[in-house]
Chain A
Amino acid sequence: MTIKVSKKSYLFGRGWQRWTPLFLLLPGFGLYLVMAVGPSVATAVYSFTDATGIKGAPVNWIGFDNYDEFLFRGLASRDNIAALQRTLIFSVLVTTIQFGLGLLLALLLNQKLKGRTFFRTLFFMPVILGVAIQGLMWKLLLLPNGGPIAEMFGWFGVRSEFLGGQPKEAFLWVIVVQIWANVGITMVIFLAGMQTIPEDLYEAASIDGADGWNLFKSITWPQLTPAINTNFLLNIIGSLQAWQLFLVLTGYKNGTQVLGYLVFAEGFGQTSGSFTTAFRQGFAAAASIVLFFLVLVLGLAANRLVNRRERKYLG
């Protein structure tokens, strides 16, 4: 790639000074290449080896064997594909629900209400506390014996093991916690978008006799396009790669694994009781490349959707 200061448009300084922007750009871009792009590409290379990550252990090229194993071999492939599906379900549910709730809260808090600042601060709070505290709080809330939520379920005669029981149920609770923890960001971004909508648009429409829902449909929603796009993409990409809550809440348990956790467990060994698995970093790399394609496909699809909306509403 020829990176050269463009003669026509760049006006600062003369002689060697004209190279200043390139020099100044180097630290940032260099870090980016070394810390992000390089390792990501190397992941693809690793995925064709049987690397263990243990220093001194031999590394061999094994072609597509890791991919073959991940997608097709025995019944482990069934579990891997289930993890893939779970990652998708997690992402879709978290994105849509968090999007909806965030929008609802933002609409409510965009009114002249007493305590607006208090509510906004409160709903954003978990973001500040971080994933470890979020997780531990909910572990306590979800204790099957004596936890407050178990108690409430008890009023209706329902008994549940929550995080320690049925994997499907544990999975749903992780989704709940994920949304609880992050809806604040979505809400705040929507609020900011609403602040930028000119008041007179509403006034004009009101004179024409439009009421709440119509106003939302014809003004708020289209005008909110940039905030919608931001939230949509942040949520999709974020939720596809988020799995730290699984680590805190359920651990590596049959029936709750998502792809990100699987990569970590295979690459760095996962201990369950007295049983320690091997480090399979080549295999883990292959799994993360599969995750990459998933994110790419969904991300590009979302991107198309966003562009269509932008064309439709903003021309």
Chain B
Amino acid sequence: MKFHGGVRTLRKNGKLFITLLVVLGLFFTACGSSDSTDTTAGTSDTTAGSSNTTAGSSNTTMGTDTSEPVTLRVLAHANPPAQAWQEAFNAKFQEKYPNVTVDVSVVASGDLSVVTQTRLSANDIDVIDIPGFSNPVADYMSGATPPNWQTLIDAGLLLDLTDQPFVQNYDAATIADAMSYNDKIYQVNGGRVSYSGMFVNKDLLAAASLAIPTTWSELVSVCDTVKAAGNECMTVGGADGWPVFVGSYGLLGSFYPDQAGLVEGLWTGAVKWDDAKTAELWNRYYVYATDMLEPGVTSYSHDADPARYAAGDVAFMPTGVWQAPALEAAEPGFDWTYVPFPGSDNASDNQYLFGKYDQGWAINANSPNQQAALDYLAFFSDPANFQEWINAVGFLPTQPGVTLDTKLGGEVAPYLENYRVGFEQYWVQPTGAGQWANGSQGAAWFAPFNEWTDPAALSKQSQADLQAGLDAG
């Protein structure tokens, strides 16, 4: 293969080329980036093009006209219990609205943001699966890039649900914390989860006559005892990386129960990742990652870990409450409870569960099937249906009067009034910050998961990475 001929002519025809390239480039951006005019035209085109569906939706507005079939396109992330529930739910929905066919696309949770973006841009979806809103860019965050959902709303892609009667089925905290942005409501939220606690193997502790630890020092000594007896202290789904964060979220929560305040403190300099109080946090991250977790946790994926834990020789499994159904499925006889991660030496700091508002539903503002989409959300929000949803997925309910009637519901009931939104829901990374700036994930940066072995050095690096971003902004 010869390239030199071409390269020589490049030199000769250089000017010609540059001209051609520039013209082409301008042509392309003309149809690419001047979105405001061009794509609107595109949108109206699509709507006009699918005149059938448009007509269909205007018909449904008038009531339950069954003559025009509507296909309601719903996007959901992969979660097997939720998919099983949704199949039954869709059947019920289609029975009530016989003209509607629900077409659910399931994507892996890691792909949800990409697919949401592309399908909204292509106006190829009616109802989307979206996590609760929690972290708009705050006033003190100068120069930060807004999170995705905020850009979606600002761009007018999500339908305003404020005046829909069904949103009033949700409790006030949920409406404020998860469903609203700038005083308008854009989603209905299907439940809270906690990601800062751990499952406890009650049989194993009982056999060794150990009590459930409520402070850090108790946890350390329980782990020593358990390991001395030939069992393991903790397991997590280390192969996926992020499940390791659960322990660090727990530790961080017991050090800083006011997580919104912590985020503000980090941005304003009132808190530093390497100040005296936080330095101890990094020591505990280190102990958790290298001592408490069993060897070889990088073998287990998040999904596989409940099965590993159900084998019975591990005392604790720090993970989200959403894994309770998987644990019960893996070993029905397993006796467990779920408690906050005891990260502080003061037991009263260890009573909070931190988490996020998980899966919610929002509607594409340009959807030609808006009425059917609204019907879908209204049907979902109906308390009886909502109860079934909660039973299926095991989320902590967001409607008053709906209860989590499972073992998990009973086990976490004492902590529910201490439920708080976690750090990750408030945190927005400053532009220019380095990859170690989000210290809430710190435990996952120690060996065996990453390269660090010295907590003091890592805490300094984390602060330096954050500071670089704050200074650059």
Contact = CB atoms under 8 A, between A and B. Distances in A.
Contact, chains A and B (beta carbon distance below 8 A): yes
Interface of A: 1, 33, 37-39, 41-42, 44-46, 49, 51-59, 69, 73-79, 143-147, 159, 161-168, 226, 229-230, 233, 251, 253-255, 268-280, 300, 303, 306-307, 310
Nearest to A146: B299
Contact of B35 (A57, A77, A78, A147): A57
26 contacts: A41-B25, A41-B28, A52-B151, A54-B117, A56-B155, A69-B431, A74-B431, A75-B432, A75-B434, A75-B469, A144-B298, A164-B241, A164-B298, A167-B451, A253-B241, A253-B450, A254-B450, A270-B113, A273-B242, A273-B243, A274-B242, A276-B131, A276-B147, A279-B151, A300-B7, A307-B4
Given A59-B33, A74-B431, A274 B356 contact: yes
Nearest to B147: A278
A59 B1 contact: no
A45 B28 contact: yes
A162 B195 CA distance: 27
A54 B121 contact: yes
Contacts of A251: 240-241
Contacts of A269: 113-114, 117, 148
Contact of B28 (A38, A143, A277): A38
Contacts of B156: 56
A74 B433 contact: yes
Contacts of B43: 55
A45 B33 contact: yes
Interface string B430-473: 11111111100000010111110000000000001100110110
A161 B28 contact: no
B338 interface: no
B406 to A, nearest CB: 22
Given A52-B151, A273-B242, A276-B147, A42 B29 contact: yes
Interface of B: 1-4, 7, 16, 20-22, 24-29, 32-36, 39-40, 43, 109-114, 117, 120-121, 131, 145-148, 151-152, 154-157, 195, 238-243, 245, 295-296, 298-300, 356, 422, 424-425, 427, 429-438, 445, 447-451, 464-465, 468-469, 471-472
B146 A278 contact: yes
A271 B77 CA distance: 12
A269 B243 CA distance: 20
B239 A164 contact: yes
Query: Taking chain B's interface residues, is the majority helix, strand, or loop, or is none over half, making it mixed?
Result: helix
Contact of A53 (B121, B238, B242): B121
Given A41-B28, A274-B425, A144 B449 contact: no
Nearest to A307: B4
A36 B300 CA distance: 42
A161 B147 CA distance: 33
Contact of A271 (B7, B22, B36, B112): B112
Contacts of A310: 2
Q: Which 8 A-B pairs have the closest CB atoms?
A: A74-B432, A75-B434, A164-B298, A273-B242, A41-B25, A74-B468, A42-B28, A145-B299
B155 to A, nearest CB: 4
Central interface residue in A146, A162, A253, A276, by most chain B CB within 10 Å: A276
Nearest to A281: B33
B151 A54 contact: yes
Contacts of A307: 4
Nearest to B40: A56
Given A52-B151, A278-B148, A303-B4, A79 B33 contact: no
A168 B451 CA distance: 8
A249 to B, nearest CB: 11
A279 B469 CA distance: 18
Central interface residue in A49, A56, A77, A226, by most chain B CB within 10 Å: A56
Given A74-B471, A273-B242, A273-B424, A165 B113 contact: no
A57 B155 CA distance: 5
Given A78-B434, A145-B296, A275-B424, A164 B120 contact: no
B25 A54 contact: no
Contact of B472 (A74, A162, A274): A74
B145 to A, nearest CB: 5
A167 B451 CA distance: 7
B26 A56 contact: no
Contacts of B472: 73-74
A33 B28 CA distance: 10
